[in-house]
Amino acid sequence: MGTEIFNPLDKRNLGVSIADAIFRKEVFPLKELPSFNGAGIYAIYYKGDFPFYKKISEKNKKDFVQPIYAGKAIPEGGRKGGLGLDVPVGEYLYKRLNEHRRSIEAAENLNIDDFYCRFLVVDDIWIPLGESLLIEKTKPLWNIVVDGFGNHDPGSGRYNQQISSWDTIHPGRNWAKKLRPGKPKKEIATLIDGFLR
């Protein structure tokens, strides 16, 4: 009806403004990212010819409109609620994006030249909300269906867990080879097809 009271400080409105702000940022090839300081949120885009991602790639040919993955990078201690008001500025976002670059480069069937990113340095307190709304708004495939892209080596003694869907269809990360088998590739392909349809 349009009579609802608009509250600019409502967490949803704040999250939308953060998510919208990232789409106004410059897009960089992931392999040539200039170093920078700050924490925040990011979106990774794909423009290659891997058959499973054809629909995503087509959407990104003219303009970058469909991230394949979105995430956040927070300062150390942020996961435990240890963010202070005077957290020193570091290359948190830059380092996280470079971890992703290395994962893509390790994959046997992906080419780093096909990946691009945009990022937004955000005040620490708004990073989790911004990431949540960015994922909700853009529904990136690697966040929703093909899990595991953002995983780290679980370490010795913890290799009894299943390999992620991402590592199943993009083999190459050495530590992932030590994990137990997960979903079959054919099942993952069916899930991707259904999601993108």
Tens digits of per-residue pLDDT, 123-173?
Answer: 888 888 889 889 998 999 999 999 999 998 887 667 788 899 999 999 999
* Structural domains of the chain, count: 1
The predicted-structure confidence for 69-119, as pLDDT tens digits, reads as follows 999 999 875 544 444 455 557 899 999 999 999 999 999 999 999 999 999
86-107 as b/e, with b when 16 or more CB fall inside 10 Å? Answer: ebeeeebbbebbeebbebbebb
The answer to the question of residue 120 being in a domain is: yes
Residue 30 maps to a domain: yes
| Residue 173 within any structural domain of the chain | no
In a domain, 131, yes or no: yes
Tell me the pTM. Answer: 0.88
pLDDT of residue 81: 47
User: Is 82 a domain residue?
Assistant: yes
Note whether residue 160 is domain-resident.
no
Q: Domain range spanning residue 41?
A: 11-141
Q: Is 20 among the domain residues?
A: yes
Q: What are phi and psi of 162, to 5 degrees?
A: -75, 150
Q: How confident is the model at residue 23 (pLDDT cuts 50, 70, 90)?
A: very high
Within-domain flag for 23:
yes
Contact 52, 195 (CB under 8 A): no
Residue found by looking up tokens 């940022």 in the block: 25
